[in-house]
């Protein structure tokens, strides 16, 4: 079956209680037949109990007990559906300001972001927030859904006015690909099926758009980076001297005979083979998990990075980054944190906070530099040893890191190297 | 020209292998929670791939309710021998005998919830700091919020409102003495993905998944297999049906579906046309809307 060559697309949705995000996801799941009868039955029962007319599509995305009681999404929830063209993973996150951390989490692995705008209200603070996060986390594709078109008489003018409003501020952002769609999630217009109420819209419906986003070119194929996760030494009869370096290709393409350097030591060698359980492969690219063997017996361990000799990342002990603070406990100036960067782990501190960003106005605050939960700030990080880094804009894997508070072991910050 | 992207099954496989290698790198004493069901068989298969040419570097832990399908135990022992891995068994019967837990009473009594104590005891006894499970986010709404690396406090409990954020593919497995983690390498797989992959890789699974004739009783909207633990109620009749199981658990609560699917191809086709979720045949999940979440908070799989 051809279906097995299908790609996986991860997208994030952000929205508040009222802009119809849950209804939209419910609609996508429902119309693409990802809903089972027993789930439908459960939702019908609940809809009736709550006194809703018909099936409340929003209930399909309902997660934990607290949410059901409060009627809001409190965390990132993952949903799955498949069409004959693609498998989709939705990271569904709440859109309130206090949940910036969840939006950042959902955005970190996404190929695309769906931003919802209520056609009656146009661009609001929250829209700017979502667009900013999509830009900050470098989500390659942004699809802006102007929803509830049924409540503005499917007006073409309303649609274009909102696009203008959006473009006015989004010019300050860095997003590769932005598209706009007029939809009604409630009625299904332009979600899976083309709308019959908006003849003036010539573009494709949402699902078709998601099925056809060109994502294979979003991967960095230039800068070969291979963070070593673990060393495999079977020491069995058949593999007596085998020494393989297991990891997932972060970017670029590796081939046998490539001249490589192991960082930070700088020792060079050649790739002898690229091994998998299913046999040797001739090429390895992101996001393949493979095992490299080298021609020379050099010291390689977890935390090292294998790169090509002629294309190396920067090795820095101090660098600039944007961080999002994720923890209830505010950042402690000059305190020690554990930094996780690829498979490497070091001690780090936030040497200085340059400014905080107001994600509603994109303004800089250089006065108040306290970092509280959900704050986004430009900082300087200093580590005990050099890290092999790339800019986040070029490489989402070697350009990202998290900070951990060693007193609680909690992940307290997410960082993007500038 | 070569293509430089993976198809979805290869991407899911690569993600799972990455997570399994992170577990090995970050923990002292991990185990794979092995139930004999297809998801834990899949995780074991992925572990074989992740560490090849080395053997799987961690043991399998089976929480044995005592109410097993004999086929499951045979399959477990066969696989352990083939892969040359160590097997640890936590026995619910032993927990009952020791007075750690009490058997449920009544018609719908199961040993499902009792497994929690046995599992947590086994984790403590064997000083396990990470238990790798075959949980998937599409299975159940409480599982939709699980992390790849999911923290458990020193009582083995899950706090869904206070989970560590998980960004990019950076996994934080840091923990204090007495705490442990659950790791879910196949979080992003759906039931359909699992079957498509099992078919593609031709992974060996217990015969129970294939259509076969069996003595069953119609109860709670599914065919419950006749076993020495099943007490017939008034009005219930034993019949022989051609059935297969979509999930495998305790023999007392796992209902079969009528089916002619006796090959992996037929199963994948059947699953693709299913109208009910796979856990729809599990009476343990039917108890309340939040049955799974409540068990998970206490330390369930």
- Please write the tens of the pLDDT for every residue from A188-239: 899 988 999 999 999 999 999 999 999 988 889 999 999 999 999 998 888 8
Q: What is the CATH number of domain A314-417?
A: 2.40.30.10
pLDDT of B181 above 70 = yes
With contact defined as beta carbons under 8 Å apart, do B251 and B269 qualify?
no
Q: Show residues of chain A in contact with B137, CB under 8 Å.
A: 78, 80
Q: Do A287 and B15 touch (CB under 8 A)?
A: yes
What is the 8-class DSSP label of residue A323?
E
Q: Do A411 and B165 touch (CB under 8 A)?
A: yes
Sign of CA dihedral B176, B172, A13, A374: positive
Question: Residue B170 is nearest to which of A82, A219, A402, comparing CB atoms?
Answer: A402
- Closest-CA residue of B relative to A80 is B138
Both tokens of A258, joined, read 């490539």
Question: Residue B276 is nearest to which of A36, A62, A246, comparing CB atoms?
Answer: A36
- Residue A398 CA to residue A343 CA, distance in Å, equals 10
pLDDT in tens, A166-182: 999 888 888 889 999 99
With contact defined as beta carbons under 8 Å apart, do B281 and B256 qualify?
yes
A225-308 matches A314-417 in fold: yes
Q: Do A109 and B168 touch (CB under 8 A)?
A: yes
> Could you state, in order of their start, the residue ranges of all structural domains in chain A?
2-218, 225-308, 314-417
- Closest-CA residue of B relative to A278 is B49
- Closest-CA residue of A relative to B2 is A283
Question: Residue A302 is nearest to which of B4, B25, B275, comparing CB atoms?
Answer: B25
Give the DSSP letter string of A168-201: HHHTTS--SEEEEEE-BTTTTBTTTB--SS-TT-
* 3 state SS for B138-192: CCCCCHHHCCCEEEECCCCCCCHHHCCCCCCCCCCCCCCCCCEEEECCCCCCCHH
pLDDT-based confidence at residue A73 (cuts at 50, 70, 90): very low
- CB contacts under 8 A, A 369-388 vs B, are none
pLDDT in tens, B235-288: 888 999 999 998 887 888 788 999 999 999 999 888 887 766 665 555 555 555
Tell me the whole-structure pTM to 2 decimals: 0.92
pLDDT of A1 above 60 = no
Instruction: Extract the runs of DSSP E, i.e. beta strands, from chain B.
Output: 30-33, 60-64, 87-91, 130-132, 149-152, 180-183, 212-219, 222-225, 239-245, 256-258
With contact defined as beta carbons under 8 Å apart, do B137 and B188 qualify?
yes
Q: Do A82 and B187 touch (CB under 8 A)?
A: no
Sign of CA dihedral B116, B121, B124, B128: negative
User: Nearest CA of chain A to the CA of B274: how many Å?
Assistant: 8
Q: Is A300 on the interface with B (CB under 8 A)?
A: no
- Interface test mutation site (partner A, options B3, B7, B8, max chain A beta carbons within 10 A): B8
- Residue B118 CA to residue A402 CA, distance in Å, equals 35
Q: Do B163 and A5 touch (CB under 8 A)?
A: no
pLDDT of A72 above 70 = no
- Residue B301 CA to residue B290 CA, distance in Å, equals 15
Q: Do A326 and B51 touch (CB under 8 A)?
A: no
Buried b (16+ CB within 10 A) or exposed e, B124-135: eeeebbbbbbbb
* Annotation: CATH topology of B8-193+290-298: Rossmann fold (3.40.50)
pLDDT, average across residues A144-148:
95
Q: Do A37 and B188 touch (CB under 8 A)?
A: no
User: Nearest CA of chain B to the CA of A295: how many Å?
Assistant: 18
A154: left (phi over 0), alpha (psi -120 to 50) or beta: left
Q: Show residues of chain B in contact with A104, CB under 8 Å.
A: 165, 167
Both tokens of A70, joined, read 């409060």
Lowest mean pLDDT among A47-61, A331-345, B72-86: A47-61
Return the pLDDT at A64.
45
Both tokens of B146, joined, read 């699980």
Task: Name beta bridge partners: A362.
Answer: none
pLDDT, average across residues A20-44:
75
pLDDT, average across residues B173-178:
92
With contact defined as beta carbons under 8 Å apart, do A31 and B269 qualify?
no
- Closest-CA residue of A relative to B141 is A63
Lowest mean pLDDT among B32-36, B107-111, B268-272: B107-111
* Annotation: CATH topology of A225-308: Elongation Factor Tu (Ef-tu); domain 3 (2.40.30)
Q: Is A340 on the interface with B (CB under 8 A)?
A: yes
Question: Residue A216 is nearest to which of B4, B51, B193, comparing CB atoms?
Answer: B4
> Could you state, in order of their start, the residue ranges of all structural domains in chain B?
8-193+290-298, 206-285
Question: Residue A232 is nearest to which of B6, B51, B290, comparing CB atoms?
Answer: B51
Return the pLDDT at A250.
97
Q: What is the CATH number of domain A2-218?
A: 3.40.50.300
């Amino acid at each position: 079956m051809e279906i097995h060559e299908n790609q996986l697309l991860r997208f994030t949705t952000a929205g508040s209680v009222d802009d119809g995000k849950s209804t939209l996801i419910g609609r996508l799941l429902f119309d693409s037949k990802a809903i089972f009868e027993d789930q439908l039955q459960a939702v019908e029962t609940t809809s009736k109990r709550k006194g809703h007319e018909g099936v409340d599509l929003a209930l399909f995305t309902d997660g934990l007990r607290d949410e059901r009681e409060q009627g809001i999404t409190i965390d990132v929830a993952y949903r799955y559906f498949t069409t004959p063209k693609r498998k989709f993973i939705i990271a569904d996150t709440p859109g309130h300001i206090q949940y910036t951390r969840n939006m950042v989490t959902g955005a970190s692995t996404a190929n695309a972001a769906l931003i919802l705008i209520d056609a009656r209200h146009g661009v609001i603070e929250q829209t700017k927030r979502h667009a900013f996060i999509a830009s900050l986390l470098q989500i390659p594709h942004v699809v802006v859904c102007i929803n509830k078109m049924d409540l503005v008489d499917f007006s073409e003018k309303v649609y274009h006015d909102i696009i203008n409003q959006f473009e006015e501020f989004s010019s300050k952002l860095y997003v590769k690909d932005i598209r706009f769609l007029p939809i009604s999630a409630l009625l299904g217009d332009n979600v899976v099926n083309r709308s019959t109420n908006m003849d003036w819209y010539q573009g494709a419906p949402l699902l078709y758009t998601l099925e056809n986003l060109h994502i294979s070119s979003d991967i960095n194929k230039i800068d070969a980076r291979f963070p070593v996760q673990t060393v495999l030494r079977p020491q069995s009869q058949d593999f007596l001297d085998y020494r393989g370096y297991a990891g997932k290709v972060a970017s670029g393409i590796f081939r046998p005979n490539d001249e490589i350097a192991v960082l930070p030591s700088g020792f060079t060698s050649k790739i002898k083979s690229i091994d998998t359980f299913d046999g040797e492969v001739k090429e390895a690219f992101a996001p393949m998990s493979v095992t490299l063997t080298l021609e020379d017996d050099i010291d390689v361990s977890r935390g090292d990075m294998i790169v090509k000799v002629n294309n190396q990342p920067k090795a820095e002990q101090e660098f600039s980054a944007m961080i999002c603070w994720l923890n209830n406990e505010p950042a402690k100036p000059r305190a020690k944190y554990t930094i996780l960067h690829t498979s490497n782990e070091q001690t780090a501190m936030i040497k200085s906070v340059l400014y905080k960003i107001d994600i509603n106005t994109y303004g800089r605050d250089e006065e108040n530099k306290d970092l509280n939960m959900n704050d986004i700030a430009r900082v300087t990080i200093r580590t005990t040893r050099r890290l092999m880094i790339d800019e986040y804009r070029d490489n989402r894997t070697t350009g990202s890191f998290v900070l951990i508070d060693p007193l609680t072991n909690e992940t307290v910050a997410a960082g993007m190297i500038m | 020209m070569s293509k430089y992207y993976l198809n979805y099954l290869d991407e899911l496989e690569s993600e799972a292998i990455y997570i399994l290698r992170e577990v090995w790198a970050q923990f002292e004493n991990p185990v794979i929670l092995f139930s004999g069901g297809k998801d834990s068989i899949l995780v074991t298969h992925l572990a074989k791939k992740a560490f090849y040419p080395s053997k799987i570097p961690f043991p399998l832990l089976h929480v044995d309710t005592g109410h097993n399908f004999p086929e499951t135990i045979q399959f477990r022992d066969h696989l352990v021998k083939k892969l040359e891995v160590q097997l640890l068994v936590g026995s619910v019967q032993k927990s009952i005998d020791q007075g750690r837990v009490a058997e449920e009473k009544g018609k719908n009594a199961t040993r499902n919830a009792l497994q929690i104590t046995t599992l947590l005891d086994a984790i403590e006894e064997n000083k396990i700091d990470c238990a790798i499970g075959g949980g998937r986010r599409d299975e159940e709404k409480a599982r939709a919020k699980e992390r790849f690396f999911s923290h458990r406090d020193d009582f083995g409990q899950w706090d869904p409102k206070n989970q560590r954020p998980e960004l990019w593919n950076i996994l934080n497995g840091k923990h204090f003495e007495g705490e442990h983690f659950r790791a879910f390498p196949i979080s992003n797989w759906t039931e359909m993905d699992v079957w498509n992959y099992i078919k593609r890789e031709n992974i060996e699974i217990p015969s129970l998944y294939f259509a076969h004739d069996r003595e069953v009783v119609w109860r709670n909207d599914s065919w419950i297999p006749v076993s020495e633990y099943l007490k017939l109620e008034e009005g219930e009749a034993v019949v022989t049906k051609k059935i297969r199981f979509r999930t495998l658990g305790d023999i007392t609560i796992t209902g079969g579906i009528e089916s002619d699917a006796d090959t992996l191809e037929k199963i994948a086709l059947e699953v693709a046309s299913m109208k009910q979720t796979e856990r729809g045949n599990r009476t343990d999940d039917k108890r309340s809307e939040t049955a799974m979440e409540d068990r998970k908070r206490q330390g369930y799989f």
